[in-house]
A and B are shown apart, each in its own frame.
Chain A
Amino acid sequence: MRSERFEKGDSVLKIILIYITLGIFCAISVYPVLNILSISLRPASTVFSTSLKIIPDNATFDNYINAFLKYDLSKWLLNSLIISSLSAFFGVILSVTAGYAFSRFEFLGKKVGLSMLLVTQMFPATMTLLPLYIMLIHYRLSNSFLGLVIVYISTTIPFNIWILKGYFDTIPKSLEESAYVDGANITISFYKITLPLAAPAIALSALFSFMGAWSEYIVARVIITASDKLTLPIGLTNMMGQFTTDWGIYSAAALITAVPVMIIFICLSKYLVGGLTLGSVKG
């Protein structure tokens, strides 16, 4: 039973065991998503049910239709799309150069700078909300997409820099050096040589920035109060009443929220392996 497709020297039993283990973990990781799906398909009268069926009896798409009809879901989707895309775009632009600098250059405070980036993650984020809010009001950026984007960028930059720095470290320097010999300056070699090679890490940091903005709630809640500018997470939490929540519609909307990021995530998942380099095995 030695095949090219398996590891050499693995017994059948071992292979079966591996599959069973992975199967269990997959089930646990996927089940909650199926749970939302199941609730979203239930007719309003049986949202609460003790049945474990994934596709319920009398499954219906009413909740999905109602999510768009009864709530401004399409508006929220659009707003979130704009905000998340802008955050991803600027988040990457800003961190890519910094990541490059941390990887390639020697300068005063490089080590301190890198650890300072980590340090920014240590202060409870909810508490910085009040000063941030005061500052945004001062610059007349409250209730604007721009204000929100600026905040999101700043929260993603530190992690992005770490990822990008780690990845740049794995790209051999010799490539750029040969470009210098050909007369290129540092800007050209950065754009023409290093950046294309770092595509996986760039895609990943864009993904993380996008996701962060797509699902952020606490900051958005305070900064955006105009009803036509609400983002998806705020809209979703608005669906929950003080006492009552229509869980069917909520689940439908939650799934509509989660699916786009899930798709992007799956498409980029090959980059996740190897692109996620916080530190590197290679020197």
Chain B
Amino acid sequence: MKNTKKVLTLLCIVALLTGIFAACGKKEASNQNDQQQASQPAPEQKKVEIAFWEQDEANARNTLDALISEFQSQNPNITVKRTHFETEDLRKNFTSASLGTTGPDIVLGPNDNLGVFVPGNLVQSAEDVMGADFFKNFDSVALEAAKYYGKQYMIPDRNGNELCLLYNKKLVLEAPKTFEELMDISKKLQSEKKVQYGLAFNKVEPFFTVPFLGAFGGQVFDDVNAQSPKPTLDTPAMLEWAKFLLKLQNDKIIPKEADYDVASNLFKEGKVAFLINGPWEFGTYVKAGMDLGIAPIPSINGKYPAPYSAVKGYCISAGVTDPDKKAAVKKFLEFVNSKDAQLKMVDAHKQLPTNLEALQDSKITSDPMIAAQKEQLSKCVPMPIITQMRAVWDAMKPVQQELFAGKIKPEDAPKKIQKKAEEGIKALGF
């Protein structure tokens, strides 16, 4: 009796295991079948479905939906399915989806995604799909930012994403030119009990503090275009950066604790006079009835902080190989990057468009918020988009938090950031 049971169990296990291994083995074969079936010639006006992923804010999503339905009514054989992801999720899911067949065909996101998408072979050259002529009508600076090691992998649709100094005109009449001025104004307002703090910004993310590194002449990589760029974080500039941030906190210019929401709301409520934030949020403050002023982040010891500028744009998945699909993707991308479409998007994201015609439109040239951004943009540096940047962000974030929490002395911070960044780059496989 016992023996039969044993044999039976054994048989079952063997059966299951063979099933599993057979499943593994067959995988590649069946994938090839899929592709063959898909590429078979089809009758004209074949139905094509485009999967489109984005990570935009809510306003821009609504505009995108309107654009998509307009596009679909013009091209009844093409359906575009938009799916929203949070930034990190988009990166993560696109990467895991690339192992299968369910990934997106088009991805809209910031250009630092390229640092993951290109080395991971997830996207294909946009020039191959769109043709070289397509890019003649684009702003050359934006195009440059959408390249990865010289190759055009992304079609930029907006330029900016830069941090500016926002000020409440009810509290401050004119934007300070220097940081010393800003501190004086803050202290005065504080002593008059008009505000709780002078300045606020998101203290959690290094994206909001890295501009100050530029003011002390520092940059995070020795040369971003080199084959293997080295992080340069253990520098005197980084030490100045750490000391400066800590001084802002100790002088009570900035709040002891502030994430994005806290900073933004202190500003909205008039509890701080200045805020460092980006164009995506301008509309919110105007809507809340604030008298909003926008200016470049003021200079420190005569040198301007350098916020990162970045472009956002469309990437085409490496999985788009079928000619019908390629044609549909091309049509869609031409449509959303036309002058009219880009101008509609500007209403939502409040950044500079990349289409040359759109840039010349009076709507753009006469917008004071966009004009103010141009001034800040001239002081920006392009955000490094190489894969290694991820390790730099991950190195700065915890040390910056420890610095604000008083867990680490400014003197020790640069060394720790450098060490972590080096470890991170090694972990990425470079």
Contacts and interface: CB of A to CB of B under 8 A. Distances in A.
B400 to A, nearest CB: 17
A224 B30 CA distance: 22
Contacts of B9: 108-109
Contacts of A45: 288
Given A108-B2, A142-B100, A143-B102, A244 B55 contact: no
A241 B96 contact: no
Nearest to B280: A243
B168 to A, nearest CB: 15
Nearest to B109: A242
Nearest to B102: A142
Interface residues of B, number: 42
Interface residues of A, number: 33
Interface stretch (B77-85, B331-339, B372-380): B77-85
A185 interface: no
Contacts of A226: 51, 81, 83
Given A137-B100, A242-B86, A246-B58, A221 B23 contact: no
A227 B102 contact: no
Contacts of A247: 261
Contacts of B86: 237-238, 240-242
Contact of A227 (B82, B101, B280, B284): B82
B201 to A, nearest CB: 12
Contacts of B134: none
B99 interface: yes
Contacts of B278: 243
Contact of A48 (B96, B261, B280): B261
Nearest to B205: A243
B281 A244 contact: yes
Contact of A138 (B27, B84, B262): B27
A144 B86 CA distance: 21
A130 B96 contact: yes
Interface string B35-78: 00000000000000001010101100000000000000000000
Interface string A206-232: 000000000000000110011110100
Interface in B186-242: 202
A138 B269 CA distance: 53
B17 to A, nearest CB: 14
27 contacts: A48-B262, A108-B2, A108-B9, A109-B9, A134-B99, A137-B99, A137-B101, A138-B26, A138-B27, A142-B100, A222-B93, A225-B97, A226-B51, A227-B81, A227-B82, A227-B83, A237-B86, A237-B89, A240-B86, A241-B58, A241-B86, A243-B57, A244-B58, A244-B260, A244-B280, A244-B284, A245-B261
Interface of B: 2, 5-6, 9, 23, 26-27, 30, 51, 53, 55, 57-58, 81-87, 89, 93, 96-97, 99-104, 202, 260-262, 264-265, 269, 278, 280-281, 284, 288
The 6 closest A-B pairs by CB, nearest first: A137-B100, A48-B265, A227-B83, A142-B102, A108-B5, A242-B87
Given A135-B23, A138-B30, A238-B85, 7 more contacts: A70-B58, A108-B5, A138-B26, A138-B27, A142-B100, A225-B83, A226-B81
Interface of A: 45, 47-48, 70, 107-109, 129-130, 133-135, 137-138, 142-143, 221-222, 225-228, 230, 237-238, 240-247
